[in-house]
Amino acid sequence: MKEIFFTKTHEWVRFLTDTTARIGISDYAQDQLGDLVFVNLPEVGDEVTAGDEFADVESVKAVSNVYSPVTGTVRAVNEDLLDHPELINEDAYDAWFIEVEDIVDRAELLTQEEYDAMNA
Amino acid sequence: MKLIFEKGKEGRGCEMLPESDVPVTAPSEKFLRKKELRLPQVSETEISRHYTQLMKRTFGVNNGFYPLGSCTMKYNPKVNDDMAKLPGFTEVHPLQPESTVQGCLEVLKKTEEALCEVTGMDAIDFQPAAGAHGEFAGLKLIWAYHQDRKDVKRTKIIVPDSAHGTNPASAAMAGFSVINIPSTKEGYVDLEELRKVVGEDTAGFMLTNPNTIGMFDENILEITRIVHEAGGLNYYDGANLNAIMGIARPGDMGFDVVHLNLHKTFSTPHGGGGPGSGPVGCKEQLIKYLPTPRIINKDGSLTFDSKSEVSIGRVKAFYGNFLVVVRALTYILTLGAEGLRKASENAVINANYMLHLLKDTFDIPFPGPCMHEFVISLEELKKEKGVSALDFAKTMLDYGNHPPTMYFPLIVHEALMVEPTETESIETLKEVAEIYKQIYDRAQKEPEALHLSPVTTVVGRPDEVAAARNPILRYQFK
Amino acid sequence: MGNYVPNTPGEQQEMLKELGVNDIRELFRAVPDQVYLNTPLKLAKGLSEFEVKRRMKQIAAKNTVFSSIFRGAGAYHHYIPSIVTQITSKEEFVTAYTPYQAEISQGILQSIFEYQTMICELTGMDVSNASVYDGATAAAEAVIMCKERKQRKALVSAAIHPQTIETIRTYCMGTDMEMLLIPLKDGRTDLEKLEEMLDSETSCVLLQQPNFFGQLEDCDAVGEILSGTEIKYILSCNPISLGLLKTPAEYGAHIAVGEGQPLGLPLSFGGPYLGFMATTEKLMRRLPGRIVGETKDHKGERTFVLTLQAREQHIRREKASSNICSNQALCAMTAAVYLDAMGQKGLAQAAQLSMSKAHYLAERLCELKEFSLAYEGDFFNEFVTDYQGDVDKLLTGLEERGILGGYPLGAGQLLWCATEMNTREEIDALLEAIKEVLGA
């Protein structure tokens, strides 16, 4: 398993290569949001920009933006989440949202320790 | 309880229509419906009893105290409904010749005149069918105004963070981008923040005043001046007008556009979610942008006028929710100038009185005097006992009370927003305040019990997560 | 003068005293002097209930209630069963708010769920919302639902109700949605032109069935033209006609909308009416407005609740798909009770009667040399005639005889309508009246 990084806005990113990565939301985030009922995902081919929102997650009474840790192009989306948003609650690190390629920029990223310290 | 589709029998039904007295013309095959139409097959007895059962599972203003903040659930006078049932109003086709609808036009014109007087506006239009629809129309007026002046860079609408969700949603729908500004810790518009964001791109500013925490913004004249000086227009969300009828007028405060909610302030019923009526009003310089047709006086009779070429056009077919306007006019004629002011004064007295009864027990983040509503925060209770505003509200149901608005405004945590209205008596306020205090005591002693409430209602708390994850939005026939 | 304030002036004073307030002005201390009103509003003095009734009845009496109506054009005079009016006058239903507190609002919620089911059945679609304001706004909301990042052109038939076109125009104005009109050909949508207008930026196509001129459009052909594309097909329908005529789903539509007024709502000078909207499961989350869903409570009891709320303005704010909050819930209940009372048979009968009477009316009118049908196509319960004569004089003459004639479209054209309300006797009497006016 590759190393995982986090953003201050509670997304995780796992680099597959230097220019490709999978992105999701942290376990802390899913816990705070509670039972998720829907996710809005981008489409394959969409550009995402580090620090900008690319998706949102819905609980019953709230909607929260999800921000991209990197700048690049979406090459895959996890369509399972559309029918089964509960997967995010069950295992946030397995429930990736999108896979990004041609990464040219990164947001400020935290290591697991730094991220845990931030939430402590 | 069964659905109507689960009642009745194959072949059962009501006979409502006669046989044809003219030769039958059937549609040609290519236009014929092939798909089965599964409507209920029920007798009239079954229909009647079905809805009586549903009625018993419904809570209206006639059932009890309904202090839903920002919704103004005042008593709905029955004479209003009677007047809205007069055949002289219900049996009139919207496209009849003007000479045959002078009564309808008079209803609209008289109500317009009265509401102009109440709001300080110069014209009012009734096409918008609800508050949000009025916001949309009002924002379109602002859009048209800037366009007409070739001031096309004004694309932003400023909205305080305490605003109703409809405000930013309406602004976006009308083609604007939205700038949210934070409120001060007292809950008012932050003048510094406002000064910072206004500029050449400001189209307008939307405000509810009294605001959503029930406070009249004492800087109102400064606020509207800042926006005007930047070249923007001021939009008044009339959701909370019930506090100030006959006491202060948005037009005098510097607002250029307003919408009202006849189903709040002017006592027309909410019908389980609608129909409402959200007339939009404006100052002289914006009249030409109002939806068409306008109603004008011409040679002693009322007539439609669609001449304005810069009008925003229609926001709806015909002339709005006309029968709702009939009810509102009945109310206005009943109360008159004095009665309207008395209504607002008593709405404010009742809210302050209830706040007074509760203030020693509850955390009231913005202490009085309030206007027609006030906000309780249960943040402490949540922290200490794990009892949320939701738990608290659900427990109220067990006491036969409709809860206040929950979790709004967003700037107060664990908020309950209480609007008693003027049509409640002092006894009711005292009784309800006692109940709130009892529930508070219970929350201290047996917090877990509150998580399980309500226990006396026909159903318990619904599983909303399941409802949203696997939507079942219609009956599935067996 | 009534003001529905229970507290007596004495009690009010006592309450103020308890608040430590001498004068009510103190409660309004935040209201600046410059705007605080010290003089009463310039409105008439309040009236007793007795007086107000007399006044309102006087106003109502200034309207003409026609005993015989041959005008539709978006508002239809249909039979309303007594039970419909009785049930929808029940105080609980009338005075309830939006069912936010599900546990004490199962009545309203269930009635909406039943309504949603009926709208799905009528239109053949998968999902219905709980209503919007009217047919025109339903069409405008449907157009907005179809907005895609790269597809922002809505092709709207010129044969839909002109007020619906105007409403869509307002909704699109100043936004990045653009409305283009598909021209007419012989009173129907010109499908050749439609095909020419389609391009990669087209998001949706909107037709009305039957159209504004009463003509039945070739909606199958439109379905075929659009099949295999990503373009959304919106059909606006007369709900009574759906008792007899093909459903939007059968035509391949993605969104069905319409004016629900014919389903038990009186003419009422144009409102309150009822906008219905239904769509496919795929587009479900784009539907605006409230939607009721079925779930269970913690005891496993079937429970109804407002659902998919994260689409809506109170949560999504400026990113919401629509700003709608209040809808036409009581009108939706009215439609549901109407459909309960009519059933499939009754609705089909209302549709069949309306169609038959309209054809009888057309036939009788065309017996007169002054009238001829403007269009040759199939029609349901409305049709356009060309009239060789003075339209104003004709309509005024009919008015004097208590008859509301066809709707004048200009250029000597009249749009006639018949429903089950128009008896043969009434239609024959119309003909006699026309002959009288022509002879005069």
| pLDDT digit string, tens, across residues B35-46 | 999 999 999 999
If pLDDT is split at 50, 70 and 90, which confidence band does C437 have?
A: very high
Chain B environment of C134 (Cβ under 8 Å): 129, 316-318
For residue B4, count other CB atoms closer than 10 A to its CB: 26
Nearest-by-CA chain B residue for A58 = B468
Give which of C298, A10, C174, C395 is closest to B96, Cα–Cα.
C395
User: Is the Cβ pair C42, B337 closer than 8 Å?
Assistant: yes
Per residue in B389-437, pLDDT (tens digit) is 999 999 999 999 999 999 988 889 999 999 999 999 999 999 999 999 9
Query: Which chain C residues are Cβ-neighbours of B110 within 8 angstroms?
Result: 59
Give contacts of B37 with chain C, Cβ < 8 Å. Answer: 121-122, 242-243, 344, 347-348
Mean of pLDDT over chain C: 96
B464 touches chain A (CB under 8 A): yes
Is the CB of C280 inside 8 Å of chain B's CB atoms? no
Give me the residues of C, 275-334, that contact A with CB < 8 A.
285, 308-310, 315-316, 319
- Beta-bridged to residue C234, according to DSSP, are C206, C255
C-alpha gyration radius of chain C: 25
Q: Which of the residues A36, A39, A58, A60 would you substitute to probe the B interface, choosing the one with the greatest number of B C-beta atoms within 10 Å? A: A60
Q: Is B24 an 8 Å CB contact of chain A?
A: no
Provide the mean pLDDT of chain B: 96
- Chains in contact with A, where contact means 3 or more Cβ–Cβ distances below 8 Å, are B, C
Q: Which residues of B touch C309 (CB under 8 A)?
A: 468
* A86 contacts B469? CB cut-off 8 A: yes
- The tens digit of pLDDT for each residue in B106-119 reads 999 999 999 999 99
Domain boundaries, chain C: 68-79+343-439, 82-337
B468–A38 C-beta distance less than 8 A: yes
Q: What percentage of chain A carries pLDDT values higher than 90? A: 90
Taking residues C376-385, report their average pLDDT: 98
Name the class of domain C68-79+343-439: alpha beta
| CATH value of A4-103 in 3.40.50.150, 3.40.50.10860, 2.40.50.100, 3.40.190.10 | 2.40.50.100
Q: Could you tell me the two tokens for C18?
A: 């308890």
Please tell me the distance in Å from A46's CA to the nearest CA on chain B.
23
Q: Which residues pair with A5 in a beta bridge?
A: A13
pLDDT single digits (tens) C38-85? 999 999 999 999 999 999 999 999 999 999 999 999 999 999 999 999
Give the neighbours of chain B: at least 3 Cβ pairs within 8 Å. A, C
Residues whose CB is less than 8 angstroms from the CB of residue B441 and which lie 6 or more positions away in sequence, other chains included: none
Closest Cα in chain A, distance from residue B369 (Å): 31
| Residue B2 forms contact with C (CB below 8 Å) | no
Tokens 């599972």 locate to B57
Asked if A17 reaches chain C (Cβ–Cβ under 8 Å), the answer is no
Nearest to B137 by CA among A110, C167, C235: C167
CA R_g for chain A? 13
pLDDT (0 to 100) of residue B411 = 86
Residue of B nearest to C280 (CA): B473
Closest CA of chain A from C239, distance in Å: 33
For residue A114, the distance in angstroms to the closest alpha carbon of chain C comes to 32
What's the pLDDT tens digit per position in C285-341? 999 999 999 999 999 999 999 999 888 888 888 888 899 999 999 999 999 999 999
Q: Is A35 on the interface with B (CB under 8 A)?
A: yes
When pLDDT is averaged across residues B56-84 and rounded to a whole number, the result is 96
| Contact status of C130 with chain B (Cβ, < 8 Å) | yes
Measured CA distances, C23 to B92, B216, B372, B422, B426 (Å): 48, 18, 17, 18, 19
DSSP-assigned letters across all residues of B395-422: HHHHTT----EES-STTSTTEEEE---T
Measured between CA atoms, the residue of chain B closest to residue A83 is B469
Question: Is C137 close to B315, i.e. CB distance below 8 A?
Answer: yes
Sign of CA dihedral C314, C315, C320, C321: negative
Q: Please give the distance of CA C291 from its chain centroid, rounded to a whole number.
A: 18
**Listed residue (C194, C190, C213) closest to C202, CA to CA:** C194
Residue ranges of E strands in C187-272 = 188-189, 202-209, 232-237, 255-259
B180 lies within 8 A of chain A by CB: no
- C-alpha to C-alpha distance for C426 and C411, rounded to whole angstroms: 27
Closest to B153 in 3D by CA, of B177, B181, B174 = B177
Q: Between chains, do A37 and B468 touch, taking CB under 8 Å as contact?
A: yes
Give CA–CA dist B70/B239, Å, rounded.
6
Asked if B465 and A58 come within 8 Å (Cβ–Cβ), the reply is no
Q: Please choose, from the candidates C7, C72, C400, C361, the residue with its C-alpha nearest in 3D space to the C-alpha of residue C210.
A: C72
Residue C272: is its pLDDT beyond 80?
A: yes
- Give the largest Cα separation in chain A, rounded: 38
Q: What is the pLDDT of residue B90?
A: 98
Tell me the shortest Cα–Cα distance from B257 to chain A, in angstroms: 31
Question: Looking at residues A32-51, what average pLDDT do you find?
Answer: 94
* C245 vs B13, B33, B317: nearest CB: B33
Q: Which residues contact B235 (CB under 8 A, 6 or more apart)?
A: B135, B138, B139, B142, B157, B204, B205, B206, B207, B255, B256, B257, B258
Please tell me the predicted confidence (pLDDT) of residue C1: 56
**Token pair in block for residue C264:** 């038990």
Question: What pLDDT does residue C2 have?
Answer: 63
Q: Which fold has domain C82-337?
A: Aspartate Aminotransferase; domain 2 (3.40.640)
Per-residue pLDDT averaged across C426-439, rounded? Answer: 96
Q: Is the pLDDT of residue C195 over 60?
A: yes
In terms of phi and psi (left: phi > 0; alpha: psi -120 to 50; beta: otherwise), the region of B442 is: alpha
Q: Where are the domains of chain A?
A: 4-103
Q: Tell me: the pLDDT tens digits for B343-365? A: 999 999 999 999 999 999 999 99
Whether residue A61 is predicted with pLDDT greater than 90 in this model: the reply is: no
Do residues C378 and B31 make contact, with C-beta atoms less than 8 angstroms apart?
A: yes
Domains of chain B (ranges, CATH numbers): 79-334 (3.40.640.10), 337-455 (3.90.1150.10)
Query: Taking CB atoms and an 8 Å limit, are A59 and C285 in contact across chains?
Result: no
Contact C35/B252, CB-based, under 8 Å? yes
Do C323 and B106 lie within an 8 Å CB cutoff?
A: no
CA–CA gap between residue B313 and residue C260 (Å, rounded): 23
Q: Is B130 helix (H, G, I), strand (E, B) or coil?
A: coil
Q: Residue C46: which of B110, B267, B338 has the nearest Cβ?
A: B338
Q: Does residue C180 surpass a pLDDT of 60?
A: yes
State which amino acid sits at residue B209.
N
Q: Which residue of C has its CA nearest to A42?
A: C149
User: Is the model's pLDDT at C235 over the cut of 90?
Assistant: yes
pLDDT above 80 for C440 = no
Given pLDDT bands bounded at 50, 70 and 90, which one contains residue B185?
Answer: confident
Q: Terminal CA-to-CA distance of chain C, rounded, Å?
A: 52
Residue among C150, C295, C305, C316 with most chain A CBs within 10 A, to mutate: C316
- What CA–CA distance (Å, rounded) separates B279 from B321? 10
- pLDDT, one tens digit per residue, over A64-86 is 999 999 999 999 999 999 999 99
Separation between Cα atoms, residue C292 and residue C27, nearest integer Å: 41
Question: What pLDDT, on the 0 to 100 scale, is given for residue C277?
Answer: 98
Q: What pLDDT shows up at residue A60?
A: 85
Tell me the per-residue pLDDT of C61-70, one tens digit each, with 9 for 90 and over. 999 999 999 9
